[in-house]
Amino acid sequence: MDQVTFGRTGLRVSRLAFGAGPIGYLGADADRAAEVLGFLLDQGVNVIDTAAAYLGSEELIGGAVAHRRGDFVLLSKCGRKLPDVPGEDWSADVVTRTVDRSLRRLRTDHLDVMLLHTCPLEVLKAGEALGALLRAKEAGKIRFAGYSGDNAAAAYAAELPGVDVLMCSANLVDQANLETALPAAARGGQGVILKRTVANACWKPLEAQEGIYRDYVKPYVDRFKAMGLDPEDLGGQGPDPWPELALRFSLALAGPHVLSIGTTRRESAEANLRILARGPLPAPAVARIREAFARARGTADWPGLT
């Protein structure tokens, strides 16, 4: 798989990342996680995107691929207290102890990237949480610090000198960060990774969504209906054109280096790789999606979904 340089980090990364939320939140077993991760690493996907809050995902990753640690860039996220890491959200103590916890669970001596996980703008401005991450960097526990979030906080984070990596949402129904955070990251040279790149399959009815995603995806479902997109107008083909249209739209966006996509199934991972090989959605289709978003939003506030 082709690789690109991950902004000013200098890391070489695949365009696709394995997003570990589903293996944690949907309760994948160790064999299922190992199958998907092993397959993707064998295909050249070299970014694994997890978080301390993704239930058992860090442990599943550590158990499955710690023996292949040199094959991938490892990214996690932290900041809020956990059942085994009590304290104040975003405090230096909670951030520091969560970094150590992630190292143990992932069975590694360092993380390539650790991000503050959707902390509010006022927390970023206070500086305590980011300061703790930067001290972890000085100690050699992480290589690069960054921020995962959206809207004004993401745009502010992209301007901070200690933030080398930015993760934010952008997809066919979530475009606010295209106007704010992504331009700021381009100016700062951060490595940029997109989350929710296939819009949490918002074209599906809510009852078809799994687990926690049923309630979580509702704002996206509402936006998708309001946009009134016609897959034929966008070049969609086949009985289920939306996964390809959504992924290729995100791939066409200027600025992001990596697209994070979560799955618990190898067949879904295989399908994502086939779509990726087809390249970005053509510019006229991207323009139609952008226009539909602007028209449906009107004067409403459709922020990035945090």
Number of Cβ within a 10 Å radius of residue 177: 29
Number of Cβ within a 10 Å radius of residue 27: 13
Rounded Cα gap, residues 170 and 150, in angstroms: 9
Range with lowest mean pLDDT among 50-54, 147-151, 207-211: 207-211
CATH label, 3-198+253-279, candidates 3.40.50.261, 3.60.21.10, 2.40.240.10, 3.20.20.100: 3.20.20.100
pLDDT digits (tens, 9 = 90+) for 72-89: 999 999 999 999 999 999
DSSP letter assigned to residue 282? P
| Closest C-alpha to 237, from 206, 291, 275, 263 | 275
Helix (H) or strand (E) holding 114: strand 111-117
Rounded Cα gap, residues 123 and 170, in angstroms: 23
Mean pLDDT of 195-218: 89
pLDDT digits (tens, 9 = 90+) for 218-229: 999 999 999 999
Q: In this model, does residue 215 exceed pLDDT 90?
A: no
CA atoms within 13 A on the CB side of 15: 20
Rounded to two decimals, the pTM is: 0.96
